[in-house]
Structure 1
């Protein structure tokens, strides 16, 4: 994007990113730990989200921000994992002071990854605790993409079921414009196909019958318009926008909403009843920044992060990675 430069996501200060995953079970989690309680917002556009504590981000709620966000596999079963983040933060005296203790404010969203690997192994509090330790001890892990953390169990292009789906993954991307920095972290687990946001070319998604190229999910759905089959509901793309801009909770909600345009540019179809698409936004710094500019950048970096996560994904458990097909 003209007028900007790409930066490592770690150049946005105020957070630590860590991962933990089980390759054999094909599931995992990724945690964003905030250095300080940070203003946050969220926008849910899919019809089937699995989430925890998102009402905290309503501008009318009393909470001023979050201490952490957890992205995990396991569908709704994975929501237990946030307990590990709570434990980690409480042990370090981090949270909202209620007199007798401090209560960490932690939001979580989950992807459905039960059909890949093992359905009986899900992220739990122990795995999330390990992700928190990783965030503190292994700074290089914040730059990993593809089959890492919550990206381990992600798949895409699932309209015709798992047989013709491909591997998704975890992606990150960040830009700097002047002194303003905006980045995205996303777990790409969509029912739809994935497109290069700059060229419009399909780079992953619904495989053809020979599994050597693509079909267009939108076209297949139109063919079935008179009698849509039961949709494979194991989807949801979840992500987080990070910025050093100074914003309120209400403004962070708007940034999260605008960032969904990045999903729309890179995933088609998106926001269906078979997806639980969710984006969070965190204001981590004090840089003066225009809301509309940051929202516009948020959409772009989110779309690029979707592309990066899919292109970094490796073939596993019978699901073909884009790098092995293109």
Structure 2
């Protein structure tokens, strides 16, 4: 595994979720407004799990992933912006997968199963522009096994972090990916970070992005501000959320996929503070394709999952791009903010 000691180490990381055998990733970014969707596809089927930690989630078909429920495999996960409207993107993925002959065989045809989660990005620009079924279909059409684009693209196109003292003091979020391989088994993650809280380097604790001071020139540190008694702004429930997928090509059971989704949140906790708040809908999915024909112990798989999520979350911030919307304050990216400071 790679040793991380600096931001450059995080930027130099070469792993990505599409290195997991049986996984393809496609993305759609809407040029008319910062929003989009990201499709993580496993057309040959994968056991799945999910763990929802935030108190304001927007999800689709998560119940079928419970270990006690009948369905054993899903065929993709859709991550999208657009709040509740963005769930429509999963319909496009279902249509595309059906055209590829993928899905649960029901005798008269196949039903692709595509759980989904959304984040709230409708404060940037015209909220009437959001991912729909066509966006989801286009994302799937573009899917491949190369490294997915990162930063302000796909489900992370409209992501914003550090909003606890107001949207105008926040910074740009995004989407990132990472993976690690041990003994021929790969575990990867892709994370769209739209957190209410600040984002830290998970390995040295450096505050990288989040709420800024009143003049916008310095990072305020939400944790320090709250501990000092500074009152947060009123926050619209669900107006944040970090969502993502952890995938492995190890042979795992549905119950183990659920546990991978649970422990993957440890990676969010290392990178985001505060995390899993009443105004976040933080949701992580887990997929197991089994295509390495190998298995590792759950301790190793869990460690790899949390590590991949932590790195992917940091990369989502490091590779984000500043955004300027007419009539709204400029939201700086990590790179632009640090260049000025």
Which TM-score band applies after superposition, normalised by the shorter structure? over 0.9
Deviations 1:223-253 (A, max 9, x none): 447x764224410000111111111111010
Deviations 1:118-148 (A, max 9, x none): 2111100001000000005xx54x4310011
Q: CA deviation at 1:117?
A: 2.4
Q: CA deviation at 1:21?
A: 1.1
SS in 1 for 2:28: strand
Deviations 1:123-180 (A, max 9, x none): 00001000000005xx54x431001111101010000121001000010011112222
Q: Determine the C-alpha separation between the residues in 2 that align with 1:213 and 1:229.
A: 18
In structure 2, what is the equivalent of residue 29 of structure 1? Answer: 37
Which of residues 56, 78, 81 is equivalent to 2:86?
A: 78
Q: CA deviation at 1:264?
A: 0.4
Which of residues 296, 299, 306 is equivalent to 1:292?
A: 299
Most deviating of 5-14 and 142-151: 5-14
Matches within 5 A, 1:165-180: 165-180=170-185
Which of residues 8, 11, 23 is equivalent to 2:19?
A: 11
In structure 1, what is the equivalent of residue 117 of structure 2? Answer: 109
In structure 2, what is the equivalent of residue 306 of structure 1? Answer: 313
Which of residues 234, 245, 257 is equivalent to 1:230?
A: 234
Which of residues 215, 219, 229 is equivalent to 1:214?
A: 219
Deviations 1:89-124 (A, max 9, x none): 122221112222211111000000000122111100
Which of residues 152, 162, 167 is equivalent to 1:162?
A: 167
Matches within 5 A, 1:209-288: 209-224=214-229, 229-233=233-237, 234-285=239-290, 286-288=293-295
Deviations 1:294-325 (A, max 9, x none): 11111111011000010000101221100111
* Shift in CA distance, 3/206, structure 1 to aligned 2, threshold 3 Å: closer
With normalisation by structure 2, the TM-score equals: 0.90
SS in 2 for 1:198: coil
CA RMSD of aligned residues (A): 1.8
In structure 2, what is the equivalent of residue 97 of structure 1? Answer: 105
Q: CA deviation at 1:31?
A: 0.1
SS in 2 for 1:287: coil
SS in 2 for 1:28: strand
Q: Determine the C-alpha separation between the residues in 1 that align with 2:323 and 2:3.
A: 38
Matches within 5 A, 1:103-142: 103-136=111-144, 139-140=145-146, 142=147
Q: Determine the C-alpha separation between the residues in 2 that align with 1:297 and 1:8.
A: 13
Q: CA deviation at 1:219?
A: 2.6
Deviations 1:258-309 (A, max 9, x none): 0100000000000011100011111122321111111111111101100001
SS in 2 for 1:77: helix
In structure 2, what is the equivalent of residue 58 of structure 1? Answer: 66
Alpha carbons 1:6, 1:176 under 8 Å: kept:
no
Which sections of structure 2, spanning at least 5 residues, go unmatched?
Answer: 5-12, 325-329
Alpha carbons 1:79, 1:109 under 8 Å: kept:
yes
SS in 2 for 1:18: strand
SS in 1 for 2:301: helix
SS in 2 for 1:171: strand
Q: CA deviation at 1:6?
A: 5.3
Q: Determine the C-alpha separation between the residues in 1 that align with 2:225 and 2:120.
A: 23
Which of residues 303, 319, 322 is equivalent to 2:334?
A: 322
Q: Determine the C-alpha separation between the residues in 1 that align with 2:19 and 2:279.
A: 35
In structure 2, what is the equivalent of residue 182 of structure 1? Answer: 187
Which sections of structure 1, spanning at least 5 residues, go unmatched?
Answer: none
Instruction: Count residues in correspondence.
Output: 322
